[in-house]
Each structure stands twice: as structure tokens, then as C-alpha cells.
Amino acid sequence: MTIQWFPGHMAKARRQVTEKLKLIDVVIELLDARLPLSSRNPMIDEIVSEKPRLILLNKADLADEKVTDQWINYFRGLGIRTLPIDALSGKGVNKLPELCKELAGDMLAKRTERGMQGRAIRIMILGIPNVGKSSLINRLSKRAVAQTGDRPAVTKAQQWVKMGDTLELLDTPGILWPKFEDQMVGLRLAASGAIKDELIDFTEVALFAISYMMHYYPEQLLERFKLKEMPEDRVTMLEEIGKKRGCLVSGGNIDYDKAAELFLRELRSGKLGQVSVERPIDWEMDEPIGKPISLYE
């Protein structure tokens, strides 16, 4: 699945981020805990440069906790502080101000040495669409100052948001790279809901996610769809889901698109349990789990 999606406002957002960076003390990179590397914009390393950085793994409540620990260790190996959070419930968010203060320590010390007055730590929040930036800002500010939604690209402009006297947050529109060179990245993002549904093939994406769950989360599939045994392949599994959910067309045949869409809705909402669709080891495999196939292969 090749997806190209780089709206004009995203190109503008990149320019704005680069221009504002000189005003920033700490960069917060917000990722989806279920697929951290695939939800990480490869341009951010280039844009952020040497600024102190904190990675937040949002939607950690939907992700597999053991896999999230693997990702924390992975980013620790890169020298980047990482914190799992859930912006909607607020879990973990209360640790953010102190972590930002630690990361801005050198800057604060230099200002003190120069006899400069203290000011709020200025933070830039970056991430791809639909990863939860607006929800996080609303949680931090304790009021609805940022527009939220369950569709990508809700935020269209930058805005400064004060959080007491200690932090000033700069929200930015989601930045997505112009082309997914790795089709697995596109599939993981589509499974999570980060790509507009109008741009994806529900069946192809669902078959990827089903394959991944059959490998890592078979019991959760069996329990959710009340199956006694695991089907032999992912297409048969999708057919079983269609039967269980009444996704049928004339003649009793399976409506694959409807079954696939239903499965993805349940996956994204957490009804299938805590599921991560990416592990560090996936990036080392020659044949990643869930590699695309045709429907009848």
C-alpha cells in the first residue's frame, strides 16, 4: 500500500516549526505507544537538531505494556528520555513539568549565571496527525484550548498555551512525511487511525493487523470473537469475523470490506484488548509479520 499525503498546510507547518525553534527550550515528541517508530516523523531529527528532547508514548492505555517497556529501553539506548502517558485520562501527564525542568536545566542555569530573570520553560510539541497533541495540551492546561478530534489533521495552526507560571507550550499542526517508503509503516499507521480512512484499503489493513494479532495475541482474538480455535490463515480469520458480526451480502457471502472496517474500529477503540502493532524487533526482520498479501492468496 503506497500512500502519498503531504497537504500544503503540513509543508507550511515544517517551515513554521523551523522558524520557532530558536525560541524553544525543550522539544516534546509525541508518538503513538502502539507503533512508536512508525508514528515518528523522520524529519524531526533533522528539524530538532541539538535541542533537549522528551519522547511521550501516548495512548499507552491501548498498547501492550510489555512492548511499551521494550520501546522505553530502545529510546533509552538512543539517549532520549521516554515517558508513557494517556492524554485522555491524564495518566503519567503530571510527571511532565518536572521532566521538562530537568531537561531545561542547563538553560536555566545559564540564565541564572547571567543574572537574567526566570521565565517559563518554552516547549514545542511535535507529532504526526491524530497522535493526541491537542488532547495533551488540553490536559496540561486544564481547559479546552486546543481543538480535538478522532480524525487526522484537526490542528491547522500554531498556538502558544500557558500552563501556570512554569511552562509555555507551542502546539503545532501534525507533520507527516510525503511518502511512506516502507509499506509496513503505512499499514501500521492506517491500522492505528493516523491516516484518513478515505485513503486506505480497509481489507488490506485489517489483514495486516489480523496477522499480527494471530502471531502475538491469539487468545485476545479467540475471546473477542468467541472462536474455539484459531483459523489457519488471516483471510479465514477475517471471514470468521464477518460471520460473527453479520457482515454478509446476498447469498450468504462475506462482505470483506465491512468486516475489515468493523475489525479496525474494535482494534482502535481497545475492544480487542491492549495491542501493540509494532515491536523493536520488527525493524530487524527480513519478512515482517503482517506483510501484505492479496485477499485470495
**Does pLDDT of 115 surpass 80?**
no
Q: Which DSSP state fits 91?
A: B
Q: Which DSSP state fits 201?
A: -
The answer to whether 54 touches 29, Cβ cutoff 8 Å, is yes
Mean pLDDT of 62-88: 96
Q: Which of 28, 172, 34 is nearest to 95 (CA)?
A: 28
What mean pLDDT, rounded, does the chain reach? 85
**Does pLDDT of 209 surpass 90?**
yes
Confidence of residue 153 (pLDDT cuts 50, 70, 90): very low
Sequence-distant (6+) residues with CB within 8 A of 264 are 191, 193, 202, 205, 206, 209
pLDDT at residue 148 in the model: 47
**Does pLDDT of 145 surpass 80?**
no
**Does pLDDT of 215 surpass 80?**
yes
pLDDT at residue 87 in the model: 93
The answer to whether 158 touches 173, Cβ cutoff 8 Å, is yes
Beta-carbon count within 10 A of 16 CB: 16
**Higher pLDDT pick, 139 / 62:** 62
Place of cell 505507544: 33
pLDDT at residue 72 in the model: 98
pTM tops 0.75, yes or no: yes
Beta-carbon count within 10 A of 236 CB: 12
DSSP string, 177-190: -SB-SSHHHHHHHH
pLDDT at residue 157 in the model: 52
Mean pLDDT of 142-171: 62
**Does pLDDT of 271 surpass 60?**
yes
